[in-house]
Amino acid sequence: MRYYTQDDVVKMLESKQGVKMQKDFAEEVGVSAPFLANVMAKVRMPDSVILKFLGLEKVEQLYRQKGKR
């Protein structure tokens, strides 16, 4: 099982977009062009629509306490 970072997701989107105009690609993905632009600029995190388009699912973050246990 492989985990993907936000950078990986952006690279996957760029690869799938190819030479398509961002507006047309956003329509294909099923999101607005401004939202897609923000995701690709790493200003916003990809939503479930984008993840589904890429065949990915969100895995919750884990947290741990700092210091000694």
**CATH number of the domain bearing residue 23:** 1.10.260
Residue range(s) defining the domain that contains residue 47: 6-54
pTM: 0.82
- For 32-44, b/e burial (b = at least 16 CB within 10 A) is eeebbeebbeeee
Number of domains within the chain: 1
Top pLDDT among 2 and 22 is at 22
| Gyration radius of the chain's alpha carbons | 15
Which helix (H) or strand (E) element contains residue 50? helix 48-54
Q: Would 43 be classed as within a structural domain? A: yes
Is residue 18 situated within a structural domain? yes
pLDDT in tens, 10-66: 999 999 999 999 999 999 999 999 999 999 999 999 999 999 999 999 887 666 677
Closest by CA to 57, choosing from 68, 46, 43, 41, is 46
Region class of 2: left (phi > 0), else alpha (psi between -120 and 50), else beta: beta
